[in-house]
Amino acid sequence: MTRPGPRAAILISGRGSNMAAILDNATAEGWSDQIALVASNRPEAEGLGLATARGVPTAVLDHQPYGTEHRGRFDTDLAELVLAHGATWVVLAGFMRILGPGFLSHFPDRILNIHPSLLPRHPGLHTHRRALEAGDREHGCTVHLVNESLDGGPILAQKAVPILPDDDEDRLAARVLVEEQRLFPQVVRAALEGRLQRSDACGDPASSSQTKAVFT
């Protein structure tokens, strides 16, 4: 039986590794009934099969038929899909579409994203390569609220890893992914349990290898 209260929809575009980590944590820790849906904009996304195998409802809303001309309509239809499944929070777990006002307006301060860098450093793509090229001593991941700025919403939690002398892009990415899969489920659960405390700053994002979080 599904308990009353906040529920989340997880949006993916690919293999769904962070999604799987969230679902596995939810099952192990007893909050799996708070996951309403896993949805993708790509019918071939591998993560859909992982969600189905875990008993989570799935849906596809392919963005391609909308093209660029009807991008706003895609955002609206996606919001309606999420709301129809009873979700009040949205979790972006490798969802490779930039969401516009037609979606964001339905979930103010209730969309979570994980980004593979210590924001505000290295927003956007190719973060591991850019961290290496910049000579950074640390890299990591950030969970933040989503707004209309690219990777610019309020930071909720971060985890840093050291950059080692023999690191290449793949080695660094693998170590960061381990931390993503530890951190993201914690923040998603905190959001659903009302334990998030919004803050527009989380200190120096690269000053410590300790997790930084504003949830209790």
> In this structure, are residues 118 and 140 in contact, taking their beta carbons and an 8 Å threshold?
yes
DSSP for the chain? -PPSS--EEEEESS--HHHHHHHHHHHHHT-GGGEEEEEES-TT-HHHHHHHHTT--EEE--SGGGTTTTHHHHHHHHHHHHHHTT-SEEEESS--S---HHHHTTSTT-EEEEESS-TTSS-SS-HHHHHHHTT-SEEEEEEEE--SSTT-SPEEEEEEEEPPTT--HHHHHHHHHHHHHHHHHHHHHHHHTT-B---S--S-TTS-SS-EE-B-
Question: Exactly one of 70, 85, 106, 115 is catalytic; which is it?
Answer: 115
Strand partners, 199: none
Say whether 115 is catalytic. Answer: yes
Dist. CA 75–CA 199, nearest whole Å: 27
Q: Which residues are marked as active site?
A: 115
